[in-house]
Amino acid sequence: MINSFSQYLVEEERVVYFTFGRMNPPTTGHGKLLDVLSKKAGRNPYRIYLSQTADKKKNPLSYSDKVKHTRKMFSKHGRSIMINKTVKTAIDAMTALYNEGFRKVVFVVGSDRVREFDVLLNKYNGKKSRHGFYNFKSIDIISAGARDPDAEGVEGMSASKQRDNASKNDFTSFAQGLPRGMSNNDSRRLFNDVRTGLGLKEQSDFKRHIQLDSVSETREKFVSGNLFELGESVIVKKTDEVGTITVLGSNYVIVETADRKTRQWLDAVEKIEEEYSPQKHEEGTPAAAAYAKKMTPGEQTEEGKGLWHNIHKKRKEGRPMRKPGSKGAPTKQDFKDASEATDYMSQAKDIISKDKADIAKDKQADKIKHDRILDRARRSRMLKKNRGINT
């Protein structure tokens, strides 16, 4: 308030500069606005008022926390950052400045809000309303030369981007929106205050987040394991050779063909879809067991072993046969089982012969299929080339 007439004579000619903003949270963008405010004011006083709105969506910091952090971030403007719980809007700030005795006021704001505040602040000049009363001799609204740092979608660092960084727990990006002179402890405290205000947990383990630009869709699929797998059959585009993937590198594959191994880039090979082939024999049957042993390296069927094998061996060596009924002599059941085993082995041989014939037939079918795949691949590349598509 004005205490004397002499003070009034001095004060009525003085001009005050001020700004009003959410700064939730404060950023380097706000710092630029405050620097412009200070420069415009020159030797004149300037004031910085902060809004008192607080919520979990766009205003995570409380009024007291916001003032505390803003003063730490921009210490050279600390004395001008005001604490006045009666000032909740820019119009309230006008009333407070008028009551201090100022009669000329300059409001510094982002370029996108000059027209808005020019209309609003002049509208209530000289009019008493619920916000109080002010009657300035002049009200000027000037641009800080940039958009409001609190605006959504603003270029550079904005409060909305900082809230997004905090919600994603990305302290590295968050720190880039703070002044260089701000200590690491103060930066982390602000980061956690924003997270708490957004309804998130405080973070004690601060990790660096690195986001690499994607090189290509093929590369991204390969890295995520959705392009090739070990053991898959592929066609080498350049030579039309069919091979199997034996190594998955960082951005290449090793393909083993009939006579060699080669390193191929990801776009130098094409995948071949495998054809489903049902098993030839049902599991658990004697034929399946004989077939499995026949097809397994190192395994032999029981042919040549058992009762008949022992009889033939003794005859060959000239040893006498045991009398029927004596200890260790084969019984009638033994002879019966041996006969059935012989029949079984004979059947197994027939099955194996038939399976070999089927395998030869399947190989011939696979060769035909392989030739057709190559034809389709060549035709597909030719069509893409004719359409101007780079394969």
CA distance 125 to 164: 38
pTM beyond 0.85: no
The amino acid present at 82, given as its one-letter code, is M
**Is the separation of the CB atoms in 61 and 193 below 8 Å?**
yes
Helix 159-167 and helix 184-197, axial crossing angle in degrees, nearest 10: 80
What's the angle, vertex CA 149, arms to CA 147 and CA 153, rounded to 5?
Answer: 75
Q: What is the mean pLDDT of the segment spanning 248-258?
A: 85
Complete domains list, the chain, with CATH:
5-197 (3.40.50.620), 217-271 (2.30.30.140), 286-386 (no CATH)
Q: Give pLDDT tens digits for 176-201.
A: 999 988 888 999 999 999 999 999 88
Which among 43, 61, 41 is positioned nearest to 51, based on CA atoms? 61
What's the angle, vertex CA 369, arms to CA 367 and CA 371, rounded to 5?
Answer: 70
- Does the pLDDT at position 1 exceed 60? no
pLDDT of residue 97: 96
Return all residues near 70 (Cβ < 8 A) that are at least 6 apart: 23, 26, 30, 48, 50, 81
With pLDDT > 70 as the criterion, what percentage of the chain qualifies? 67
**Is the separation of the CB atoms in 182 and 73 below 8 Å?**
yes
Instruction: Pick the range with the lowest mean pLDDT from 105-109, 188-192, 244-248, 380-384.
Output: 380-384
CA distance 346 to 224: 52
Q: Give pLDDT tens digits for 215-243.
A: 566 766 766 677 888 888 888 888 878 88
CA distance 54 to 204: 24
CA distance 372 to 316: 57
